[in-house]
Amino acid sequence: MNTDVITHPSEVTAAWLTAALTTAGALDAGSVAAFEVATGRGNWSSNAILHLRYSPTARGERPARLFLKMVNTDANGESFGASEVTYYTRDYVGVAGSPLVRCYDAAYSAERQRYHLLLEDLTPTHVVASSRPPTLAHGLALAEGLAALHAHWWGAARLAEAGAPIHDADFIRRFAAIAEPGAGHILAEFGDELGRRWAGLIRELYAKHPAALIARAADANGFTLIHGDAGAYNVLIPREGERPLYVIDRQPFDWSLTTWLGVYDLVYAMVIGWETAARRAWEWPVLRRYHDELRRRSVTDYPWERLVEDYRLTAAMGVYIVTEYCRGGVTPQWRIFGPPELRRALTACDDLECAALW
C-alpha cells in the first residue's frame, strides 16, 4: 500500500497531480499546468477541492475538479485504520454497479496515522441524501448499490479470501458494551418521556440481544463486508433524480462491526434515517429489491425468509447506534437529532416484533 500521504493542501504540486492522474489512467499525455485550492472540513477529516488546468498537449479524461480528503486516523484514541483506503483501492475494484466515487489516488501510513484520498469531485452534480426526504426510487437504488458491494464478499469462503473473519463473541459483546452507557444516560434524562415500556425494551435489548447476535454469527450465510454507516449523510444522490448514487465515508472505528450481516447497512438507512411512515411504506419493496439483486449476482442460497429474520434481528441494532452517541453523556447535539431517531428505532422494534427473536 502506498504510504506517501498528503496531509495538507500545501503539499500538493502540479507534478504530483500529473503523476497521480497518469497512474490512474486519467491523463494519457501532457500535464497538470496549474491548480487552485478551496479548503473545507468534514466530521473526521479536512478536505480541499482542486480546480485543475492542463497543458495544451494534455489528453485523456482530464478531470477539471478533484476532491482531496485528508484524515488523521487517531480520533481521540480511537482509530479508523486503512478501511477507507482499501474501500476504494482494493475491496471493490472491478465490481460492476458498485456505488463508489472514482478514486484517482490514495495512500495510508500506519506509522503516521494518516491517509488521503484523491476523488472525483461530485459537488456540481450531487448532494448528501440527508438534504431531502427519501423516496422509494432512492431506496431501490440504494438496495441495488449495497447488494453490489455485499455480493462480492458474501459468505465464509469469500470472507476468508478477504482475510475478514466474522467477529467472535467477545468482539460482539464489546460492540454492545461500548454503546450501553449511552442508554443509561438517555434513560436517566428521557426515561419518563420514553415511557415504561420503551425504557424496559431498551434495558431488555442490552441484556438479551447480544446473545442473539452471537448465536446468529455461528452461520456465515448472510455475512459479508459491510459499510457500517450507510446513513443518509454518507450517501450522495443527484441534485435531480435518484441515480447514480454513491456510498461514501467507510470509516469504522476499531470497535465497529465490519464483517456482518449485509442487511444491517439497509437498517442504518431505513430504520434510523427514514421517517416511520416512509419505512413502513417502502421497507419491504426495498428489501425485496436487495434480495433480487443478490440473487442476480449469484447469491442464490440466502432465502427471503432468512433475509427478513436478519432484518428484524439487525433492526434492533438501531437502538445501539443511536444510544452510542451518548456513551459519554447526553450532548446538546443529540438532544436535537437523537430523540426522533431513537423513537424511530424503537417503533421499528415494535413493528417488526424484534423482541421475539431473543
- 3-state SS of 210-221 is HHHHHHHCCCCC
Which pLDDT score, from 0 to 100, does residue 75 have? Answer: 72
Are 103 and 131 members of one domain?
no
Q: Are residues 198 and 248 in the same domain?
A: yes
User: Is residue 196, in this structure, part of any structural domain at all?
Assistant: yes
Specify whether 343 is located in the same domain as 220: yes
134 and 179 inside one domain: yes
pLDDT of residue 44: 62
How many Å apart are CA 327 and CA 348, to the nearest integer? 22
Contact 105, 24 (CB under 8 A): yes
Q: How many domains does the chain have?
A: 2
Same domain, 179 and 255: yes
Q: Residue 161's domain spans which residues?
A: 126-357
94 and 137 in a single domain? The answer is no
Which residues neighbour 5 within 8 Å (Cβ) at sequence distance 6 or greater?
70, 107, 108, 109, 112, 114, 115, 116
Average pLDDT, the chain: 95
Instruction: Assign residue 113 the CATH number of its domain.
Output: 3.30.200
pLDDT digits (tens, 9 = 90+) for 74-93: 877 777 899 999 999 999 99
Cell representation of residue 190: 428521557
Among residues 149, 201, 146, the alpha carbon closest in space to that of 345 is found at 201
Point out the domain boundary residue: 104, 120, 136.
120
**Same domain (yes/no): 229, 199:** yes
Share of the chain above pLDDT 90, in %: 94
Q: Is residue 4 one of the residues assigned to a domain?
A: no
Say what the pLDDT of residue 45 is: 72
- Whole-number Å distance between alpha carbons of 160 and 255: 20
pLDDT at 78: 73
User: Is 210 found in the same domain as 96?
Assistant: no
Please indicate, yes or no, if residue 2 is contained in any of the structural domains: no
Q: Look at residue 1 and tell me if it is in a domain.
A: no
Same domain, 141 and 233: yes
Same domain, 81 and 169: no
Given 96, 120, 144, the domain boundary residue is 120
pLDDT of residue 264: 98
Tell me if 276 is assigned to some domain: yes
CA gap 109, 116 in Å, rounded? 9
Q: Are 271 and 123 in contact (CB under 8 A)?
A: no
Mark whether 222 and 327 lie in a shared domain.
yes
Q: Which residues of the chain have pLDDT under 70?
A: 1-2, 41-44
Q: Are residues 146 and 258 in the same domain?
A: yes
- Domain's final residue, options 120, 140, 175: 120
